[in-house]
């Protein structure tokens, strides 16, 4: 076992899907790597009635199906399950938290966890203010000498700027900012973290990472699935709230930040906050020109019928909720002045892929003839998922007479690393929370700045009928107007793969 402090992880919403598919399998993977504290326990909490034993039976199939370290050793699995307990409470009853406190004290004494607790809120957002206040009512939020109490919260961190401010205010009534961990699983992905290393440990990149050499930046997060049975929930959220405001703007922060003084949580989060503060505001009047929204419509792809968004279960017939958003915006500071950033995210696109594209400017003078007759600028592609890796596109001479140029790729894939284990995002983030490292967690002030930026867009969509919701056939790359969004000769979106109806390259880096 490692030197992480002894502790209990309390998971509210323990009977839910996130616990079964992500949290418990990630903890099991950490256990198999001997990265959990020497004395460690998990207490699952929800309304559902389970005993310790029946809860262990419930989560065992999830470990076998979703853990990276396959549960083949029965003895090892059983040792892990012995560390897991369960307590049923009414999460909105202050008296039941007295029962929870007593149970924690019993487990703490039994497992010798030194009174350290992490509370993980895998619950509906309506409980994000309730649970911390009821924990505080029984003193479960109080830290002492050598004793920590931490709170992990899943997104969404508010529904708009006003609700985000209210949530932060409610949390800070009982917990201090250093105790609050707002989890964004995108930041736990290995390739996102590698952004910092790519930029700040390589002398060939950082000198070029500015408006003098970069034409524009693209960030794409594509999903091939639709909303499925989550239509009722999703319709109250949409692509802007679900993906762009949190995941993608956090990635922008890491792409665009200035070098931190040290690789440490406060320094790094200070720099990403400065990026958010430098976003050029998009006014309600400008939304139509800078933001495109769309909804997937029914389509037939390779003989398979795909429903349109409005045909999904729980979605109103007249819904205007976007399942696709593309945005152009600017960061007004010395490094990025004049460089457009383009973001797009959507459901029912041709593939599942998340990537960052750094599009460099063309050479100031064209000396050589390109094979296809078009100038090609250098491009750095950082693939976050799947096929995690990095690709650099540059020109090389075609063998033979003359000086004809063709673009070639130099790439790296994490899968090329022999005997190297790439942890899941939740493994990394859970371990960081246990260690007290908040580097990859969102801070309250940064969350509010991100909402400050997108709030005018939400208000414009809610009040202005002249802003269209474009349809796009399921299995394509979004509404047609998006294709002409990127300005500049020979500049366009990078497509990780072709439309599903085509044959060819499917999501290769």
- Catalytic residue selected from 178, 215, 247, 305: 247
Quick one: 263 and 334 in the same domain? yes
Quick one: 309 and 390 in the same domain? yes
Quick one: 150 and 191 in the same domain? no
Q: Is 132 within a domain?
A: yes
Quick one: 113 and 213 in the same domain? no
Position 500 confidence tier, pLDDT thresholds 50, 70, 90: very low
8 Å CB contact between 483 and 470 = no
Q: Is 208 within a domain?
A: yes
Q: What is the mean pLDDT of residues 303-332?
A: 95
Quick one: 108 and 216 in the same domain? no
Quick one: 352 and 437 in the same domain? yes
Q: Over the stretch 59-96, which tens digit does the pLDDT of each residue have?
A: 999 999 999 877 667 788 999 999 999 999 999 999 99
Quick one: 149 and 203 in the same domain? no
Q: Is 495 within a domain?
A: no
8 Å CB contact between 448 and 45 = no
Lowest mean pLDDT among 270-274, 386-390, 435-439, 497-501: 497-501
pLDDT surpassing 90 at residue 415: no
Tell me whether the omega of the peptide bond preceding residue 156 falls within 30 degrees of 0, making it cis: yes
pLDDT surpassing 50 at residue 471: yes
- Spell out the residues 6+ positions from residue 418 whose beta carbon is closer than 8 angstroms to its own: none
Quick one: 281 and 427 in the same domain? yes
Q: Is 353 within a domain?
A: yes
Among candidates 506, 480, 474, which has minimal Cα distance to 304?
474
DSSP state of 3: S
How far apart, in whole angstroms, are the C-alpha atoms of residue 144 and residue 137? 17
Q: Is 498 within a domain?
A: no
Quick one: 280 and 390 in the same domain? yes
What CATH number is associated with residue 48?
A: 3.40.50.720
In this structure, the strands spanning 117-121 and 84-88 are unpaired
Residue 247 appears among annotated catalytic residues: yes
How far apart, in whole angstroms, are the C-alpha atoms of residue 272 and residue 440? 11
Q: Is 44 within a domain?
A: yes
Please state, rounded to an integer, the average pLDDT across all residues of the chain.
91
Q: Domain of residue 276: give its range.
A: 187-484
Q: Is 2 within a domain?
A: no
Quick one: 228 and 363 in the same domain? yes
Provide the token pair at 7: 């502790």
pLDDT at 503: 41
Quick one: 193 and 244 in the same domain? yes
125 burial (CB, 10 Å; 0-12 / 13-18 / 19+) is middle
Residues in the chain: 509
What CATH number is associated with residue 446?
A: 3.30.360.10
Among candidates 410, 353, 359, which has minimal Cα distance to 380?
359
Q: How many domains does one find in the chain?
A: 2
In this structure, the strands spanning 40-46 and 84-88 are parallel
Quick one: 148 and 229 in the same domain? no
Q: Over the stretch 372-393, which tens digit does the pLDDT of each residue have?
A: 655 678 899 998 888 888 888 8
């Amino acid at each position: 076992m490692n030197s992480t402090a002894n502790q209990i992880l309390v998971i509210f919403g323990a009977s839910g899907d996130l616990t079964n598919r992500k949290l418990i399998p990630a903890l099991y993977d950490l256990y198999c790597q001997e990265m959990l504290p020497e004395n460690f326990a998990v207490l699952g909490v929800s309304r559902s009635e389970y005993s310790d034993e029946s809860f262990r039976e419930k989560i065992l199939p999830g470990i076998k199906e979703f853990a990276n370290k396959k549960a083949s050793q029965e003895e090892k699995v059983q040792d892990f399950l012995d560390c897991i307990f369960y307590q049923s409470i009414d999460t909105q009853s202050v008296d039941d938290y007295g029962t929870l406190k007593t149970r924690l004290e019993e487990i703490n004494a039994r497992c010798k966890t030194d009174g350290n607790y992490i509370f993980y809120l895998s619950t509906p957002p309506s409980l994000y203010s309730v649970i911390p206040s009821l924990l505080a009512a029984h003193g479960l939020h109080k830290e002492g000498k050598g004793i920590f109490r931490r709170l992990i919260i899943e997104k969404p961190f508010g529904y708009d700027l006003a609700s985000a401010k209210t949530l932060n205010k409610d949390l800070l009534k009982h917990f201090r900012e250093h105790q609050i961990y707002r989890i964004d699983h995108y930041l736990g992905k290995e390739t996102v973290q590698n952004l910092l290393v790519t930029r700040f440990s390589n002398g060939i990149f950082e000198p070029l990472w500015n408006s003098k050499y970069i034409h524009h930046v693209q960030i794409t997060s594509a999903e091939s699935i639709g909303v499925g049975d989550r239509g009722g929930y999703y319709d109250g959220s949409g692509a802007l709230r679900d993906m762009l405001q949190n995941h993608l703007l956090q990635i922008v922060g890491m792409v665009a930040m200035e070098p931190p003084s040290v690789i440490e949580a406060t320094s790094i989060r200070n720099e990403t906050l400065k990026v958010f503060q430098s976003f050029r505001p998009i006014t309600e009047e400008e939304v139509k020109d800078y933001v495109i929204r769309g909804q997937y419509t029914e389509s037939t792809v390779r003989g398979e019928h795909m429903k349109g968004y409005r045909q999904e279960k729980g979605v109103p017939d007249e819904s205007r909720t976007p399942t696709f958003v593309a945005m152009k915006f600017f960061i007004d500071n010395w490094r990025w002045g004049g460089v457009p950033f383009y973001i797009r995210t959507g459901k029912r696109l041709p593939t599942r892929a998340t990537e960052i594209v750094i599009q460099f400017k063309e050479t100031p003078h064209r000396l050589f003839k390109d094979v296809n007759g078009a100038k090609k600028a250098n491009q750095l592609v950082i693939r976050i998922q799947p096929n995690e890796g990095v690709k650099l596109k540059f020109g090389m001479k075609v063998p033979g007479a003359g000086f004809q140029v063709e673009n070639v790729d130099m790439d790296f894939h994490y899968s090329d690393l022999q005997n190297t284990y790439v942890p899941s995002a939740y493994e990394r983030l859970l371990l960081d929370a246990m260690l007290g490292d908040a580097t990859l967690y969102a801070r309250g002030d940064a969350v509010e700045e991100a909402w400050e930026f997108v709030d005018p867009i939400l208000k414009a969509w809610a009040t202005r009928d002249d802003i269209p919701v474009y349809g796009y056939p399921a299995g394509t790359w979004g509404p047609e107007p998006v294709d002409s969004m990127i300005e500049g000769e020979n500049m366009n979106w990078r497509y990780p793969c072709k439309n599903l109806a085509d044959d060819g390259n499917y999501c290769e880096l």
